Structure 1
Amino acid sequence: MHINVGSKLTEYLKLLNQLEYYGNVPDDSINSLRSYALIVYRSDRQNSFSEPMPWIGIYIAIASLFCSFAMVADLIHGLRNRKLWFPCKYFTLNAASLSIIAVAMKLPMDLSNVMPGDVDQFAKIGSMGFMCTMMANLLPSLATMDSKELFTNIIALVVLVITLVVNVCIQIKTGVVSNTEVEHMLGGDHYSNYLSFYNQSIAIIYVAMILMLLMIHACSSLAIVKSKQILEVKYQAALKDKELPQTGRLTVEKLKKHVSNYWIMAGTGSPQFMTACSATGSASGVVCALSTVLQVIIMLFTVGRTKDYKSDYKWSMMVILIIQFIGSLLGTIAPLCRCFAALSFKLSIKWVWNSMKVFKVEGYWTQKLFDLKQSSIPFFSCSRKFKFLVHNLEVLILGFCIGFQKAVVVACKIIGLIPVFIVICIFNCSCCWKWLKSMLIAFGIVFLKNSEQHETNENFSHYVLQLQDDMELAGITMKRISKSFDRLIKKAEKQQPSNLMKLLKGSTGFEGVEKFDNHHVPPLLLQEPLNCWSLALVTLTTIAISLPNIQKNIVDCLLSGVSEGLVYVKLVEKTLNATDNHVSIQKAAKTLWVEVEVYNKWLGNKLQNFAPQVSTAGEIIQWLSDTAKNMVAEVESTGIGVPIENSKCKTISANSMYRITESILLSYATNIEELSQEELFVQLSVMIADILAACLTNLPQVIAIKCHTSVIEKREASVHAAAQLLGETMQIINILQDCELPFLDPDELAFIDKWRAYLKDPFP
């Protein structure tokens, strides 16, 4: 067997051979020195095994960088949307983030690698501060999960944190978390002894902070479940009192008021907003700030010792230390701002007085545990004595958990008093400044401003959702939430689809809805598929852009208008007619449109690339009709072995082309040969505009529906989408406002076949 002998062992054996050769050294000493060869060999092998460790350090640094980027992304997202409670959008608690966090925490998890250098020690301890920052940033994301996800992710976080804490405690005991370099100790270096004590003390403080944050997460998760139930009850009660009037058409002004009301309910009733404004949210911000202060102190000790890394990780330790320090600094901004923002949201004399009642624990903090305590564990064929024992044990454990939960809440409220006193001081200074300023302003102007502000708050107060009825949001908070809605509407107004509006102006009414598919066309299939808005639009657009004599800029303008329109058409279909029969047709239209718009093809056939004898408008229509008919027959006859979805989409698309082209041929009958391509293009554009106009009359109903969703975690995003849609389509709604709609039920207006039936026979 070949043994890879290292250079150190080779040199050591040569030295022993020389000593033995000269014979001046006793045999006992030679044998004793030979016994150390194994130690030298193991040391040499250990050096070769540790060669990849710097790259593992880079792996840790990259994981830390990902976490830092995610926290900064949430910070930027909150600032851009002026949500000073900084909701978690990118850095959330899930399997992926926990895996990355576990990689970033490898240094404090490492039990065996000695950390003799100052940079090595500071990087290991600094990782725990980075963990505190990440946990504080993750807290609001708990509110985005349902009960099952919340339980699973909290258990995973508990396992990760407990493992981290146990490993750090072991390292404190064994001396890995200290400066234990042998030469310093043997030399009696007092600085080394002091630094060792300092490192161990900081590590113990970080362990306490991490455990406190873990308790905050567990405490918050128990409260979140009950809090959502309370908010949901209040939300449903508000819906009953503030339902949208069903009489008359929805104007833009009615929609704006309707969406703004839901905006207030979704904003104040947001689970993340609720968690950020809670006592645990404030406490986590304070703990995060303290952990970052400790990291700053650690970095001050590192100055001047940037090259003092002597572990197997080598130079990568400095990279890890810098990245995690910067990540902690940037990551602290959101929890700290969240802490002070939560106070400003509720700042009032009543709230300040209530905040002083730190020993008052609201019912929603412990209600979940009380429910578990009152429930009974199911037993199967067990003795009465065993049931009695288990029940008493359950009551005892849950009683302890309730007491512990209350203690954590009280501790969080006490910690939360730190920013309370700071905000009160700032508030008093602000009041003094306003008083001085008011002395320079006429009394009438001040009175007018106060009256307007009171009126604004009065309008929105009915839609505010709060866990406690005796807690009121500050007037400035209501103003801020209302302004955020106005800003979004104004921003969305700048994104209105200009090409679509140009296309809609060419509409002459709703005649195109009836004309595009003539009922006299003989069916190709035994069971004709239903019509849908998007497939009719895609097919008509395909025919229009297949005409080769039309100028490119005109074709591009039509394509852009239809492309913009299909975005809203698909939204109407998804919201109002997502039945099984319609979904398959809508899917075929979606697939076909990608082929038409991107590749300028229709079911594999290159558009404007017809047979040589095809040149006039009539010949093009006839060629498309014949090609579609042949495709349907081919799929029907040789469909064996072809994927069902593919053949179904192809059949639906080809059948639509056949019916529409045959309808065009029937409508022009004998004078089809005299029809020019330009005239046909105009007729097709008008039909497209008519169908778009008919479909988009459903937009107000879509906006109203999108305001409400039964899932509380998605409610804020849904209202945001409704407001965005309203801003983008305000002019479209106004354009279609004066159009006379068919006498159909509101639910029937979403179906093109209902329109066609009415337009064909308005008075059956």
Structure 2
Amino acid sequence: MVLVYQSHQQKLYNKPMPWIGIYIACASLLCILALVADLIHGLRNRKLWFPCKYFTLNAASLTVIAIAIKLPMDLSNLNGNVGMDAKFGSVCFMCTMMANLLPSLATMDNKELVANIIALGVVVITLVVNIFIQIYTGVLLYSEYDANVLVNTRLTSYNTFSLRNVIYAAISLGPLTLLIIYVCSALAILKCKEILESKYQAAHEIALKDHGLEQPGRLLTVEKLKQHVNNYRVMAETGSPQFMTACSATTSASGIICVTSTAFLFFLRIPNLRYNTSDYESDYKWSMLVILMIQLIGSVLGTIAPVARCFATLRFKLSVKWLWKQVKAMFSTSSIMWGQDTAQLGNYKDLRPYVLQLQEDIEFADKTLKAISKSVNHMIRKAEKQEPQNLMKLLAKSRGFEGVEKFDSRRVESVVSEEYLNCWSLPLVTLTSIAMSLPNIHKKTVDCLVCGVSEGLVYVKLVEKNLNAIDDHVCIQKAAKTLWVEVEVYHKWLGNKLPKPKPRVNTPGQILQWLRDTAKDMVDKVENMDVIGRNDNSKYRSICANSMYLITRTMLSYHENGDEFSQEEVFAQLSSMIADILAACLTNLPQVIAMKCHTSAIEKREANVQAATRLLGETTKIINSLQDRELPSLNPDELAFIDKWRAYLKNPYP
């Protein structure tokens, strides 16, 4: 009875094992999908050294990898050929993943690099130790097939058997060898970053001098911005630590290990297998074959990127000899031919000062610079198709910058005890709220205004984030951001429905008075609160209500002579003010684009330049539309603040 009970319990314990096998297979498939995503990304961007974008070394990927290589971690005996091949297949799969992950080390800062290398080391050492324990005890390299070889064959067959086991043992050392390569690469990356950083700073100074980004009273043209973006794209790509790592000797070595281990397993064992029912006697049952096939496919597919990197390295090194031959050939040809080549090379000579490289004796080919320039132009053209059309229609209503001064009269005193600075976004949200409160305006017209402001606030926030990141402004910007969600999504202003559903409140004067009084009441409630009772929400309501009070009081002052405008006229006046404020704010876009090109973090430079390129494409028409406007005689830094604009427009100075 005891034996029957124990047998029954063992069956219950083994019952979920096939599903655990499927779990392992799914983790392996997830790794393969990430590898394929990187391959597609490299092909689409014509980066045949295949940078790591989706499959990178981090806590998440290490967790998935640890699940995918569970089989060789399992010290139990997996009967049959499938079990042995699946375990060694997992080791080869691990080599493939490590070879593909190596360039991602360059995307990390020093702290992340050390942490991830240590975490990977724990996984790899555990894997190798477990494999060699199984080899030493004989449970891994001994199967029914091997027993038949030892019993029924001669010494030559035994020697073949031993050689095969030696090869399997060598495959098991692959992850450990790759770990050593990882450590060496990490040390090299740290030094490479220092060299590239010093060269980047020198090129950065050249870029600032060449294009005169600080010119008071002048807006940078789109052409100059394109050239500026081109320069920084060359700096980012040629000085990319990941590119340097992908083209290094250590990466080539990892690719060779990956290909060799997979080739040995594939050609030595897989084609000769004849699986039968006895091969599935392990607890994992049929799921073992699923794991083996998925990981084998992943290993074969993952030879692509490491091999491509080997060829990229070879081409990179051979290009020096090729260039030397071309130079000698040039001197031997006629002066006419020399002149033709010079003309062709001259197209990209302006980009050469921005090429960053570790070895000065290697000169980048014009083909490379041409490819970088083409990619920039392609990205700009693609982004131009996503230009904000509603914003362009709204900006067309602006003829100057008068609205920047007119929306808030200095004769109107604030009703809050604490003085708040102005920012670009809060007046825009407040003015739009007033426009939405006019009930007789056609819904389509109001929606068009709201869409235009919504599109404009995307760029306004970029200006504020990059140029107005001062504590006194940040709290106002946060209040505007929160208020805009309420206005755009719920058509409410601090809980009040827009427009107010009361027939007696219908004329523009009455609506402005209602908004003014509502705002005054909210401010009074906050001001009368005990200091202890105030919180972030009360401060937010105070900021928004004070803005509404000042603007509505200002607009009411325009009608003090008794003239009553129609709702359409008030809406047009509000739209014009909004357009003027947006236009004034967006004159800072060239400065934002230039700033986004440059960042102190070497790992983020390429992504930042790409973001600046897309922003330039989206805003090309906006910048062109503002190009002919006369800007205030302010320093570029002052143009980023609405209060500086208001002070200048009130008292212009030469």
TM-score using structure 2 length: 0.91
Preserved CA contact (<8 Å) 1:351 1:471:
no
Structure 1 residues 183 and 696: alpha-carbon distance in aligned structure 2, compared to 1, 3 A threshold: closer
Verify: 1:69 aligned to 2:33, yes or no: yes
C-alpha separation in 1, matches of 2:199 and 2:158: 60
Q: Is the 8 A contact 2:399 2:580 kept in 1?
A: yes
- Say which is worse superposed, 123-132 or 660-669, in terms of deviation: 660-669
In structure 2, what is the Cα distance between the partners aligned to 1:100 and 1:639?
54
2:230 counterpart residue number: 260
> 1:216-231 counterparts in 2 under 5 A?
216-231=181-196
**Residues 177 and 200, structure 1, Cα contact 8 Å, conserved in 2:** no
Contact 1:232 1:712 in 2 (8 A): yes
Distance 1:352 1:205 in 2: 40
Deviation (angstroms), 1:457: 4.3
Of 177-186 and 686-695, more deviation after overlay is shown by 177-186
What is the CA–CA distance in structure 2 between the aligned matches of 1:548 and 1:231, rounded to whole Å?
61
Does 1:636 pair with 2:527? yes
> Higher relative contact order at CA 8 Å, sep ≥6: structure 1 or structure 2?
2
What SS is found at the alignment partner of 2:416?
coil
Q: Which runs of 5+ in 2 are unaligned?
A: none
Pick aligned residue for 1:285 from 255, 268, 273: 255
| Contact preservation (8 Å) 1:235, 1:465 | yes
When residues 235 and 107 of structure 1 are mapped into structure 2, their CA distance, relative to the original with a 3 A threshold, is same
Q: Secondary structure at the match of 2:280?
A: coil
* Residues 745 and 581 of structure 1: CA distance in aligned 2, closer, same or farther (over 3 Å): same
Structure 1 residue aligned with 2:198: 233
User: Which of 35, 58, 62 is matched with 1:94 structurally?
Assistant: 58
Preserved CA contact (<8 Å) 1:121 1:199: no
Cα drift, residue 57 of structure 1:
1.4
With over 3 angstroms needed to count, the CA separation of the structure-2 counterparts of 1:186 and 1:165, relative to structure 1, is closer
Cα offset for 1:591?
1.1
**1:464 and 2:348 are equivalent in the alignment:** no
Q: Which residue of 10, 15, 34 corresponds with 1:46?
A: 10
Are the equivalent residues in 2 in contact too, given 1:496–1:728 (CA < 8 A)?
A: yes
**Quick check: 1:265–1:465 contact (8 Å CA) kept in 2?**
yes
1:331 and 2:302 matched: yes
Deviations 1:50-90 (A, max 9, x none): 22211221221222222222222222222222222222222
Mapped pair 1:274 → 2:244: yes
Quick one: distance in 2 between partners of 1:717 and 1:571? 16
Distance 1:210 1:695 in 2: 55
Matched AA of 1:293:
A
Contact 1:122 1:321 in 2 (8 A): yes
Say yes or no: does 1:510 pair with 2:401.
Answer: yes
Q: In the alignment, is residue 115 of structure 1 matched against residue 78 of structure 2?
A: yes
1:671–1:324 distance in 2 versus 1, CA, 3 Å: farther
Out of 163, 173, 176, the position equivalent to 1:208 is 173
Q: Give the Å deviation of 1:495.
A: 1.6
Q: 1:55 aligns with which of 16, 19, 32?
A: 19
Offset from partner CA, 1:699-723 (integer Å, 9 cap, x none): 1111111111111111111111111
Which structure has the greater CA radius of gyration? 1
Deviations 1:495-552 (A, max 9, x none): 2212111111110200000111111222111122111111111111121122222222
Measure how far apart 1:350 and its partner are: 3.2
Question: Contact conserved, 1:507 with 1:686, CA < 8 A, in 2?
Answer: yes
Say whether 1:106 aligns with 2:70: yes
Coordinate RMSD, CA, aligned: 2.9
- Match for residue 603 of structure 2? 713
2:399 counterpart SS class: coil
Farther-moved stretch of structure 1 (591-600 vs 639-648): 639-648
Name the SS for the 2:279 alignment partner: coil
Aligned residues of 1:512 and 1:690 also touching (Cα < 8 A): yes
Contact 2:81–2:143 (8 Å) recurs in 1 = no
Q: In the alignment, what sits opposite 1:604?
A: 495
> Do 1:133 and 1:331's aligned partners in 2 also have CA atoms closer than 8 Å?
yes
Match for 1:242: what amino acid?
A
Correspondence for 2:388 among 497, 512, 520:
497
1:638, CA displacement in angstroms? 4.2
Closer/same/farther in 2, CA of residues 186 and 754 from structure 1, 3 Å limit: closer
- Is 1:584–2:549 an aligned residue pair? no
- Residues 196 and 502 (structure 1), Cα distance of their counterparts in 2 relative to 1, 3 Å cut: farther
- 1:660-688 CA-to-partner distances (Å, cap 9, x unmatched) read 1111111222446x322211111111111
CA offsets 1:84-112 (integer angstroms, 9 cap, x no match): 22222222112222122111111111112
Residues 217 and 550 (structure 1 numbering): CA distance in 2 closer, same or farther, change over 3 Å? Answer: same
Cα-to-partner distance string for 1:592-649 (whole Å, 9 max, x where unaligned): 1111112222222222243342122222222122112212222333477867222222
Whether the 8 Å CA contact 2:181–2:250 is kept in 1: the answer is: yes
Where does residue 342 of structure 1 map in the other structure? 313
Matched pairs, number? 640
TM superposition shift of 1:176: 2.6
- Residue 574 of structure 2 is aligned to residue 684 of structure 1: yes
Higher mean alpha-carbon deviation, 149-158 vs 548-557, is at 548-557
> Aligned partners of 1:521 and 1:61: how far apart in 2?
70
1:735 aligns with 2:625: yes
> Counterparts of 1:696-711 in structure 2 under 5 Å?
696-711=586-601
Specify the SS of the correspondent of 1:668. coil
Tell me which residue corresponds to 2:131. 168
Aligned to 1:487: 378
Q: 2:111 aligns with which of 137, 148, 153?
A: 148
Structure 2 residue 396 is matched with structure 1 residue 474: no
Q: Are the equivalent residues in 1 in contact too, given 2:82–2:288 (CA < 8 A)?
A: yes
Higher mean displacement: 478-487 or 43-52: 43-52
Q: TM-score, normalised by structure 1?
A: 0.79
Q: Is the 8 A contact 1:115 1:179 kept in 2?
A: no
CA distance in 1, matches of 2:81, 2:287: 14
1:720 aligns to what SS in structure 2? helix
What's the CA shift for 1:352? 9.7
CA contact (8 A) 1:530 1:581 kept: yes
SS in 2 for 1:506: coil
CA shift, 1:42, in A, is: 4.6
Corresponding residue number in structure 1 for 2:460: 569
| Distance in 1 (alpha carbons) for counterparts of 2:181 and 2:145 | 41
Q: CA separation of 1:640/1:452 partners in 2, compared to 1, >3 Å: closer, same or farther?
A: same
The whole-number CA distance in structure 1 between the counterparts of 2:116 and 2:534 is: 40
What letter is aligned with 2:262? T
Secondary structure at 2:560 match in 1:
helix
**Letter of the structure 1 residue corresponding to residue 296 of structure 2:** F
Query: Does the Cα contact within 8 Å between 1:344 and 1:477 map onto a contact in 2?
Result: no
Query: Which residue of 538, 548, 555 maps to 2:439?
Result: 548
Which range moved further: 642-651 or 229-238? 642-651
Inter-partner Cα distance in structure 2 for 1:276 and 1:168? 30
2:95 is equivalent to residue 157 of structure 1: no
Q: Does 1:525 align with 2:490?
A: no
The more displaced of 639-648 and 486-495 is 639-648
Render the CA deviation track for 1:246-286: whole Å, top value 9, x for unaligned.
33531111111111111111110011111111111222222
Change (3 A) 1:324 1:688: same
- Counterpart in 2 of 1:128? 91
Q: Is 1:620 aligned with 2:511? A: yes
The worse-fitting range, judged by mean Cα deviation, of 600-609 and 750-759 is 600-609
Question: Quick one: distance in 1 between partners of 2:508 and 2:152?
Answer: 97
Cα 1:763–1:456 change in 2 (3 A) is closer
8 A Cα contact 1:572 1:695, kept in partner: yes
Q: Which residue of 1 aligns with 2:44?
A: 80
